[in-house]
Structure 1
Amino acid sequence: MVTSIKISTFRQEPDARGPFAMGERLPSWSPTCNGSVHVQLSGDATTSDAGGLVLREALDTSGVIDALAYRLVDPRDPLRVRHSLASQLRTVVLQRAMGWGDLSDTDVLNHDPLWQLACSDARSLAPLEEARPSQATLSRLITCLSDSNNLDTVHEGLLRLAIWRLNSLPDVTPYTANTPMTLDIDGLPIEVFGHQGGSAYNGYVGTRVYSPLIASIAETGDMVGGLLREGNAGPAENADTWIPHLVQRLMEGTNRDVDQFRVRLDAGFTDGETLRALDAHDIAYLGRLKSNKALQTLAAPYLK
């Protein structure tokens, strides 16, 4: 009776100068989600996506999938849904993280047992007997996630994952527990091809777009938030409420004081409302100002 499965991932021929030059056996690794799975390097590649199991380990350790599955509102009839919400979320997140960005890719990956093992709730070899979520099922999941009742939960899931990673990092440069954390705020116009709801022509970009805001940690590159906005939204629209909320959540999640945060802004965000909101919450900031003749005149003696 078969009770375990070995996942082999390709490695190059041993280097005569390397640590395994004499043919030593490389140790295998088993993810905590399924002790019947053993991953090891070998010359016989059964999959090129073994990293999916490592990412599954990270998702499980962070608790983000369980938190999302608990809080999301799924209007679909549970009697007509074969796959758990958690397994569908894992499928979408892991496939995109591994470079399989199209929902139709799930059909391409149906014959790779790794994906059954990495995305399933089941243990042992039971996942190998299960069908994977179809493209149609995952498409309905995306519709579910985009529902107004779920957007805050999705945003909180991203923030939760980022906070978990930040708290897991060792105290090494450029990020340590005592150094200031820089929150970069940027606009990220996303071009659309059609007239999708919420999209609009943006004169600055010169095409029809969505106009979300993105927040990331400069020292680590972690994305910690995204604010969906219509395509014709002004550069700083909603930034005055969104940025203080993000800083507050990061303070709570990383056990930092407000004076350990600073916000870095482009010229489009240095409007009165945004800066007054940051001042009101004692949040330090650094922003580029729009061209101003009076300021240029004052600065002229100090410029070379």
Structure 2
Amino acid sequence: MLLAMAERRLGLADNLARVFPDRRDPTRVVHSLVDMFRARMFAICCGYEDADDLDHLRSDPAFKLACGRLPDTGRDLCSQPTLSRLENAPRLRDVIRLTYILVDAWMDSYPREPASVTLDIDDTCDVVHGHQQLSLFNAHYDERCFLPIHVYDTEKSRPVAVVLRPGKTPGGVEVRALLRRLVRHIRTRWHNTRITFRGDGHYARPEAMAWCETNGIDYIFGLSGTKPLARKVDEVADDICTRRAIENLPVLRGYTETRHKAKSWDRERRTVARIEATMLGLDIRFVVTSLDVGSAEWIYDSLYCARGQAENLIKLHKTQLASDRTSCRSALANQVRLVLHTAAYWLMLTVRDAIPKVRELAAAEFATLRLRLLKLAARVVETSSRIRLAFAAACPEADLIRCLPGALLPLGP
């Protein structure tokens, strides 16, 4: 029921159904698109990520009640074959519209246009066990896989977009195309927001950086070290190594910056180096950025290293909501699955955000929320005038469950 209130607060199922093609005969429709989306999202949130789990859950009183049906006398929910047809129904344009609904959900989460946002972009290995469309063998992971791109507003822990793609490192043209489409959609509503993209070395492509500079978008990307680049920081690196040895320190870290132009770049760009000397040797890491403010230490430690939180969010997405269950043969169907799993992420995040900050569950992972708040034993009683939910007298989170419905009420117009 908490998930149902979170979904109605966000309106995700209605928004997805609005752009989803429904080519069924209206006179024979038993399960509406909204009901099917809700059933699938609620099942994912509760740890039932496979569509065939709905063959048993379709008659569950709590799931029926969450989807707006009477728990005993109401019609059962949709089954696995119906959901499989749902995932395979949309065409390419329809799938793109579904993906943009998630971007809209992220923008709707702000009460007003923000002055600036920092978006983390990263790809992750999604191992496949067949020959699905777009699956490729990746030598780094030693697996046949997809490498979907995840974009997060890490400061708020909110997902922005997830895009299925082949199991290879993204090229410059592909990265530029992704950034262009995402920014173009954001600019339809946010005209003045300063956007900064942050990512690892996969995204430090000359095509992407040149496009960002032309369109007023900031970036900070990891950068692979080269001999010409290393020579520009040799003097600072030697000084750090010498001071570490003289002072007999286990670790000494320093920062510097330079202007660098790689062979494939059309201009010089600001490059920041983090130099760390240890008893085992020297370690130098580089980032390239369009930002002209802040010290080298702030750029690297405070701004760039904050992208590590995005990897934790991807782990939540993959391991606790099982978004790597992309087992459909069609790439479009697998993208629909990613959309549904990301929608489920929004529901879990909304429930967690509604928990008072003084409670330990306010910072809990999704798996903990599932065990403590969602998958609880209860007696569902349907009478002619009302429906009663009876929890155990010793329910440890009874007071929290009692106050959450008020926090999850739909927002006013």
Change (3 A) 1:156 1:163: same
Change (3 A) 1:166 1:101: farther
Q: How does 1:2-81 map to 2 (within 5 A)?
A: 53-81=1-29
- From 197, 208, 212, give the equivalent of 2:144: 208
Q: How does 1:251-290 map to 2 (within 5 A)?
A: 251-253=187-189, 255=190, 257-259=192-194, 261-290=195-224
Q: Does 1:135 align with 2:80?
A: yes
Change (3 A) 1:222 1:205: same
Instruction: For 1:85 and 1:250, locate their aligned partners in 2 and report how far apart those are by CA, in whole Å.
Output: 27
> Which letter does structure 1 place at the counterpart of 2:2?
V
Instruction: For 1:56 and 1:250, locate their aligned partners in 2 and report how far apart those are by CA, in whole Å.
Output: 28
CA contact (8 A) 1:201 1:207 kept: yes
**Gaps in structure 2 of 5+ consecutive residues:** 241-413
Change (3 A) 1:209 1:61: same
Identify the residue that residue 112 of structure 1 maps to in structure 2: 60
- From 100, 106, 119, give the equivalent of 1:156: 100
Describe the SS at the equivalent of 1:153.
helix
Change (3 A) 1:246 1:64: same
Change (3 A) 1:153 1:237: same
Identify the residue that residue 384 of structure 2 maps to in structure 1: none
> Which letter does structure 2 place at the counterpart of 1:158?
L
Instruction: For 1:187 and 1:235, locate their aligned partners in 2 and report how far apart those are by CA, in whole Å.
Output: 12
- From 194, 216, 229, give the equivalent of 1:295: 229
Higher relative contact order (CA 8 A, sep 6+): 2
Q: How many residue pairs were aligned?
A: 238
Instruction: For 2:21 and 2:170, locate their aligned partners in 1 and report how far apart those are by CA, in whole Å.
Output: 31
CA contact (8 A) 1:71 1:153 kept: yes
For normalisation by structure 1, the TM-score amounts to 0.70
Change (3 A) 1:235 1:167: farther
Please report how far the alpha carbon of residue 298 of structure 1 lies from its aligned counterpart in structure 2 after TM superposition.
0.6
Change (3 A) 1:249 1:206: same
> Which letter does structure 2 place at the counterpart of 1:101?
E
Normalized per residue, the structure richer in helix is 2
Instruction: For 1:149 and 1:251, locate their aligned partners in 2 and report how far apart those are by CA, in whole Å.
Output: 20
Instruction: State, as a whole percentage, how many aligned pairs show the same letter.
Output: 26
Instruction: For 1:193 and 1:269, locate their aligned partners in 2 and report how far apart those are by CA, in whole Å.
Output: 27
> Which letter does structure 2 place at the counterpart of 1:131?
D
Identify the residue that residue 6 of structure 1 maps to in structure 2: none
CA contact (8 A) 2:54 2:80 kept: yes
Please report how far the alpha carbon of residue 69 of structure 1 lies from its aligned counterpart in structure 2 after TM superposition.
1.3
Identify the residue that residue 45 of structure 1 maps to in structure 2: none
Instruction: For 2:72 and 2:186, locate their aligned partners in 1 and report how far apart those are by CA, in whole Å.
Output: 37
Identify the residue that residue 35 of structure 2 maps to in structure 1: 87
1:248-294 per-residue CA deviation (whole Å, 9 max, x = no partner) reads 433554x46242x2110210111111111111111011111112111
Q: CA RMSD in A?
A: 2.5
> Which letter does structure 2 place at the counterpart of 1:62?
L
Change (3 A) 1:127 1:262: farther
> Which letter does structure 2 place at the counterpart of 1:300?
D
Describe the SS at the equivalent of 2:92.
coil
For normalisation by structure 2, the TM-score amounts to 0.53
Q: Does 1:228 align with 2:167?
A: no
1:15-43 per-residue CA deviation (whole Å, 9 max, x = no partner) reads xxxxxxxxxxxxxxxxxxxxxxxxxxxxx
Describe the SS at the equivalent of 1:129.
coil
> Which letter does structure 2 place at the counterpart of 1:243?
L
